[in-house]
Amino acid sequence: MVTLPSSWLTPPHEYTLLPFWFWNDALDEAELIRQMADFEAHGVYGFVIHPRVGLPRDIGWMSDRLLHFMRVAVTEARRRDMLVWLYDEGMYPSGSSSGQVVAANPTHQCRCLAKVDLNPHSSSPFHPLNPLTHLVATFERAGGQRIAIVDRPVDAVIRGLHYIGEGPAEDEPPAADLLNPDAVAAFIRLVYDRYAESLGDAFGTTIRAIFTDEPGLLGRCRERNVWPGTTGILDHVNAYLGYDFTPHLPALWYDDEPDAARYRADYTRAVLHRLETTYYRQLSDWCAAHGVALAGHPGRGDDLDLLRYFHIPGQDLVWRWVLPGPTALEGPESTQGKCGSSAALHLGRRRNSNECFGAYGHGFTWEEMKWLVDWCFVRGVNLLYPHAFYYSMRGPRRDERPPDVGPHSPWWDDYWSFADYCRRLCWLNAEARQVCRIAILCGSADLPWDAAKVCFQHQRDFNYLELRHLWEDAEVSAKGVSLGGMEYAAFIVDGLNALPPPAQPALATLCAAGRVIRWGDGGADLPPGALTAATPEALLAALERLTPPDVVVAPPTPDLRCRHVRHDGAHYYLFSNEGVTPLRTTLAVSAQGQRTWLDPLHVTAEGIPADAPLDLELPPTTLRVLRVTPGP
């Protein structure tokens, strides 16, 4: 008889799905409570309160009425032992408090660097058009062209909470300057401090986190040909880069400037670093001081370094950017599952998350939803924010970033089994320890995906390892790297164009030990001893010399994904079919012992005789778990 952990059979409510609950119409206390009871009856034991476009104007952002309804929901959640995340913006992107930051202080409006063409026949200096516009520098380019670079307010907004008339046109509040620490401090006062005053007695118990959503350097910018900036930005850029960037400003606009691509990349790195210090660090410190987690996600799916400020690192599957086929493994968005789980692992965070299904459209199917959550689980994600459960579907609300994937969906009657399935796999990913010996070295963002694709298609699991760990907190020796409970023995370099000087000693040690494999051509020069792999076969052979395969399949099955974790002495292998046709193969795994196939959706278990082959048949959109326990 197979004995399974009680948490597998009945996963703790802590690992529930946490849907975005769109509060998008006139709110009613009884209806809020009714919908929460409906969530609970269908296996959903928490939610993110997300004020959304469609609210009436008498329920404004951070108004007493809105906070009253939040209090109603939090009180009912406490009674039902449900979890609540708060959302920090009146729509998105975060950081402007639905225009209140700029309303309180117009100098906190989002700013930019802009180029102004000067009359080549005029010798008069540039005069600002208004007091909020500042001259940064002037240049004379080849051919006598004269330009000025100015720091000025930019026409940038965020999405608003209220329809204009009956919609679908929306308010567009002005975006705040997130590179200005004073503007961000104002945002914190208007939102975070107000939450603490109104709902702080539930912090750390019912309310576990505050969600910040893809803060943007230029908000939703309605201008073109501008770059993110703030007054005095060059002082920060110069200090961060270690050289005077001023002479290279024209490279931001002109391709014919020397090394234009390099200087654009340098400027982008510098302003993102500024965003870390002005925005993410302030929010992270506030949350830590108030007993709640900072949750949410940055603006791009491969922003790895920004995740260090999240107590629950996260990313965002949206706009059908990831689907069965090439996008599952190719392009920046294909890295986001491993981005979030790798960050959490190396930063010592228990949970990592994904906001999923947003704007996948009315044609979104249950099969696509199941495929996407499996895509997340096999990459180590252990918290999901379904986007979204709609409070109301009235009028234009139905078409606002559809679909509703909860109470208004065709699968709601049977949703409890899906919710239990997700809770079960979130529990396993959160509580178990990953078994993995391969790391793909990377910078702070722009995570490589080409070598990752080879690893995925040949069942060689890996994590992204940000270079800064090599000198900040990892133990490095000729045997490899120890970090976050992981022991990495093989390291892939894929397209790294710059190797920070502090990383050089660790890289020299790893290269000298023959543990670094350069994938393909190009990139920065590596220390002596690095291997080179120009083909998938060469890469796999090099990996095999450094760490034996954990899973071997015959015949080769490129649509099969795998993840190996250990929990309470047992090994669990997650196998997922990411293709669109059934797969059939035979497996060999490194773990030895009693073997059991688990179906996490239907909660069945099937023992495998010791002398039987590990044959695997997986239809599309299916995940199975192989459990191996000690014993004959």
The pLDDT-based confidence of 20 (bands split at 50, 70, 90) is very high
Delineate the domains of the chain, giving CATH numbers in brackets. Answer: 8-87+298-431 (3.20.20), 436-549 (3.40.50), 554-629 (2.60.40.1180)
- CB neighbours of 187 closer than 8 A, spacing ≥ 6? 95, 96, 97, 101, 176
- CB neighbours of 241 closer than 8 A, spacing ≥ 6? 266, 269, 270
Rounded Cα distance between 591 and 573, Å, is 10
Three-state secondary structure call for residue 121: coil
The pLDDT-based confidence of 23 (bands split at 50, 70, 90) is very high
pLDDT tens digits, 411-464: 999 999 999 999 999 999 999 999 999 999 998 888 999 999 999 999 999 999
pLDDT tens digits, 271-311: 999 999 999 999 999 999 999 999 999 998 889 999 999 99
Alpha helix positions (H), 433-515: 450-457, 469-472, 504-512
Least confident of 127-136, 321-330, 399-408, 507-516: 127-136
Report the pLDDT value the prediction gives residue 36, as an integer from 0 to 100: 98
The pLDDT-based confidence of 89 (bands split at 50, 70, 90) is very high
Three-state secondary structure call for residue 88: coil
Report the pLDDT value the prediction gives residue 121, as an integer from 0 to 100: 58
Q: Which residues pair with 12 in a beta bridge?
A: none
Q: Calculate mean pLDDT across residues 44-73.
A: 98
**Model's pTM, two decimal places?**
0.96
The pLDDT-based confidence of 3 (bands split at 50, 70, 90) is confident
Pairing mode, strands 226-229 and 111-118: antiparallel
